[in-house]
Structure 1
Amino acid sequence: MAENLNDPAADLMETAAPPPGILVSGHFRQAHGYQTHRSFGTKDWLITFTLSGTGHYWLDGRLQPCEPGDIVLLPPGTPHHYATPEGSVWEFVWAHFMPLPHWSEWLTLPSEAGALHMIRIAQQSVRERIREAFQRMIRDSLDLDYYRSRLSLNAMEEILLLAQQAEARVKSGQMDPRVEQVLSHLSQHMKQRHSVEELAAKVALSPSRLAHLFKQEIGESVIDTLLRLRLRQASRLLEYTTMPIAEIADEVGFHNPFYFTKQFTAYYGKSPSQYRKEARKSAADESH
């Protein structure tokens, strides 16, 4: 919990921020004496993930320690000061980034203006996966190759998704393993036809009990979730492959391409062909 302390950031020299860009990242291991002070924040988002030791953040004179497994997110324009406290060596990975449009739903803003947002990753396996994603992101972001830069963005997206998933589980309690099993089955077998009856049988529940439990845990019905999974996978195939639209529709479980186009347009506000055209134009602009 944050404590009220004298703010050590008073009268400190300003720390320069990296030039605003899509993604800049790194890995620091800093002893006591290391500090960063930005009284006007940065023009992009900042994320840090503590690997070992302890770091201290000060915002408006309030101290927030961060320990191994803690993710800190700072929105643009948030004044901040962070440092390694006495007696510690703070090892952390970080990234300054400009979110892609579809990341907005995973960037939960703090309830207080100017506050940081901390997510504590309790599960060791998830911590390790986030650490590995940061390592890939840092490595790929250093390369000027267009494809490597896209891979670094994929790693950033993975980190945000894992953080959001961990926070959602803390807020709602651990997800029921039967619901988790159904979700996993749907994501791995999108092309197949599914029914609540068939899915309920797989997890030894009645259809009505599964429908109720799933809506309670996920916040939407099984069918709505399957539709969302299919459409999001379709958007990735449109963006990153040259597969024909009818083939993409079939690949994600829409056996009628006209119905696929209708559903995709309703969800994304643009047709599959327009979505692909805009994604390619954006990629071409970034590569120049």
Structure 2
Amino acid sequence: MNPDLTLQFLCPPTPYFMYCDQAYFPAGVSHNSRKSIGVFDLLVVKKGELFLGEGAHQWCVQAGQSLLLRPDLYHYAVEPCNEDTSFYWLHFRTTGKWQEIEGRENLQLQSSFSGKTEEEDEEIMFKKNDYYIYLPKYLLLKYPESIYSKLEQLVEGKDKSLAFDRWKQQTLFEEILKELYQYHIHSQESRSVELAESVVSYLKQNYHQPITNKLLQETFHFHPNYIAKSMQKAFGSTPIEYLMKYRIEQAKMLLIQTSWKIATIAEEVGFGQTPYFTRQFRKFTGQSPSQFRKKFIGSK
């Protein structure tokens, strides 16, 4: 299974449009294999499917999907098309810095470019107007017709070379980048919520056991900062804060529904040490576990 790959572009300068066209492959034909073509190659399949590889990664790009190939790696056909296939291809370049990032959590953590000198990184750091464009390597387009329409306009004007025509082409190209970036943002938000919900489910099932940020990292294979950010956005608290609140709520039920000793309840809900449990319970409720129990029993 391919990892989540994203291309990160430092702007300005904005990537610039080179050329766009549409290709038709009958069943049995393979895409050309090429090495270091010097331009980014955006492929958007309208009908059929393409089987392509880049380095160690391989994809089946179907209708309504896109694939963004790098300018510096070997691209190759994995196998011929199984059916008649129609797709758009768009070449663009950038004179700015870019890099490929693997893993969803790294998008929030990786804001500098590896392999640069300290002077270059310092220059990047102090450019207040700089921003990043993130383009997913492989993407399912939820509403592909909008992208198709813009690509078709670029194909129709591919041989126009007047300055005004080139400006219109660049504008269309940037609109395509914007749409792809928005797909990426929505995809990231959806994945972030999915991760947060999975973490909450895990916490509820294992709250009585010792749980740390390191354990969550090992369980979900994400950096603790990314997990915390996802939880904050979805539930308004970090995993440990959520865990603490959930343990307190479970303790409240046990205090009301059982006659267990405070020490037993503390251990049952994952606090272990009774003094620590009492401090945390008072912090969240404003009263000790014993006071809470007496107050409830008294109200009966």
- Smaller-chain TM-score bracket: 0.3 to 0.5
Higher relative contact order (CA closer than 8 Å, sequence separation 6+): 2
Structure with bigger strand share is 2
User: Radius of gyration: which is bigger?
Assistant: 2
